[in-house]
């Protein structure tokens, strides 16, 4: 029930993001979700893509520092309070969220939240026990 995310280190200089998307595009990689975290000196681009292995390989070949992390995707009804209920559950189980980002499904009425936890299994169990819909990687990659 885990999702593989790739993260790429980028210096804060113009053109780097364009370079990455160009490399991925040329390799036929489709980006499903992304988040860019930045500081004054560098940024971390986090991506969910349809083909993790190829994306990882082509970016490394171009000299980028890339790593893979396991994240958790949770489906949330796209209505007020949807995210709040999930966070409430995580809080009561004392599970810490390292970071998160969201995207809204194209044709459904749901949003998908990507979470990064330190204790991934514990988080998945807690979410499932509380009847939240945790998405399998394959489902996300092919959305």
Interacting stretch for another protein, rule CB under 8 A, among 20-28, 60-68, 88-96, 104-112?
Answer: 60-68
- Under the binding rule (CB under 8 A), the answer on residue 88 touching another protein is no
Element (DSSP H or E) covering residue 76: strand 66-77
Interacting stretch for another protein, rule CB under 8 A, among 2-10, 88-96, 103-111, 122-130?
Answer: 2-10
Q: Which is nearer to another protein, 10 or 76 (CB)?
A: 10
Distance CA 56, CA 110 (A): 29
* CA quadruple 140, 73, 134, 123: dihedral sign: positive
Interacting stretch for another protein, rule CB under 8 A, among 24-32, 34-42, 72-80, 129-137?
Answer: 34-42
C-alpha radius of gyration, the chain, whole number: 16
Q: How far is CA 84 from CA 57, 115, 118, 137, in A?
A: 37, 14, 20, 23
- From the CB of 14, what's the least distance to another protein, in Å? 14
Exactly one of 65, 88, 96, 133 binds another protein (CB under 8 A); which one?
A: 65
Q: Which is nearer to another protein, 64 or 132 (CB)?
A: 64
Tokens 């070949």 locate to 61
Exactly one of 66, 72, 86, 112 binds another protein (CB under 8 A); which one?
A: 66
Burial of 14 (0-12, 13-18, 19+ CB in 10 A): exposed
Exactly one of 14, 18, 26, 63 binds another protein (CB under 8 A); which one?
A: 63
């Amino acid at each position: 029930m885990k999702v593989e995310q790739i993260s790429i280190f980028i210096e804060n200089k113009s053109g780097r993001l364009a370079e990455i998307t160009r490399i991925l595009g040329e390799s036929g990689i489709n980006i499903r979700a992304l988040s860019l975290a930045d500081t004054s000196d560098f940024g971390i681009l986090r991506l969910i893509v349809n083909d993790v292995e190829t994306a990882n390989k082509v970016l490394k070949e171009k000299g980028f520092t890339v790593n893979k992390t396991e994240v958790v995707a949770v489906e949330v009804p796209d209505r007020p309070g949807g995210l709040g209920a999930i966070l409430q559950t995580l809080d009561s189980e004392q599970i810490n969220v390292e970071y998160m980002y969201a995207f809204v499904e194209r044709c459904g009425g749901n949003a998908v939240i990507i979470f990064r936890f330190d204790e991934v299994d514990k988080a998945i169990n807690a979410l499932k026990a509380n009847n939240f819909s945790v998405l399998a990687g394959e489902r996300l990659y092919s959305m």
